[in-house]
């Protein structure tokens, strides 16, 4: 097995993990926390999302970059990996510019005042769209893994 095959397969597996984490948050955590903000406030005994998301993104991004480098001459695989990288970059940029700054504000706020609670509900509604971007990332990485493993 070459480094390109291994890195592509690890990136696809990690994309599965991140999509699973996004679905878990959307179905379980995000449904509850705007009304009970302590769920996402580590200082009040809530979950610390960074414990999952920082390693999960690292686990995906490092092998993705290695896979792109190692399969650069394999056009169909490279194109799929670049698609995965583009959708992941869009997701990360949106998160860094909008979701993370507000999440930090929500985590530090204690009980949410009505205006901040309204922003929290908007945050939750918009956050569901990130699942689609994560799905695109998974599709690109998984298709690349399939192509490189099957030799297509």
State the pLDDT at residue 151: 81
d(CA 117, CA 139): 34
In the predicted model, is pLDDT for residue 1 greater than 90? no
Contact by Cβ (8 Å): 144, 81: yes
The pLDDT of 140-150, averaged and rounded, is 96
| Whole-Å CA distances, 47 to 35, 42, 51, 91 | 15, 5, 9, 22
In the predicted model, is pLDDT for residue 152 greater than 70? no
d(CA 130, CA 57): 14
Q: What is the pLDDT of residues 14-53, one digit of tens each?
A: 999 999 999 999 999 999 999 999 999 999 999 999 999 9
Q: What is the pTM of this model?
A: 0.92
Q: Which residue has the tokens 């695109």?
A: 136
State the pLDDT at residue 19: 97
d(CA 100, CA 104): 6
Q: What is the pLDDT of residues 54-63, one digit of tens each?
A: 999 999 999 9
In the predicted model, is pLDDT for residue 78 greater than 70? yes
């Amino acid at each position: 097995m070459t480094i390109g095959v291994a890195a592509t397969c690890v990136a696809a597996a990690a994309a599965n993990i991140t999509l699973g984490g996004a679905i878990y948050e959307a179905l379980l955590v995000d449904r509850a926390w705007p009304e009970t903000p302590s769920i996402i406030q580590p200082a009040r005994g809530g979950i610390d999302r960074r414990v999952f998301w920082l390693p999960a993104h690292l686990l995906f991004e490092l092998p993705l970059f290695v896979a792109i480098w190692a399969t650069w001459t394999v056009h169909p695989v490279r194109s799929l990996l670049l698609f995965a990288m583009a959708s992941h970059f869009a997701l990360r940029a949106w998160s860094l510019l909008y979701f993370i700054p507000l999440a930090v504000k929500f985590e530090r706020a204690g009980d949410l005042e009505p205006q901040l609670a309204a922003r929290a509900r908007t945050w939750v509604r918009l956050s569901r769209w990130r699942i689609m971007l994560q799905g695109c990332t998974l599709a690109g990485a998984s298709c690349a893994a399939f192509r490189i493993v099957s030799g297509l």
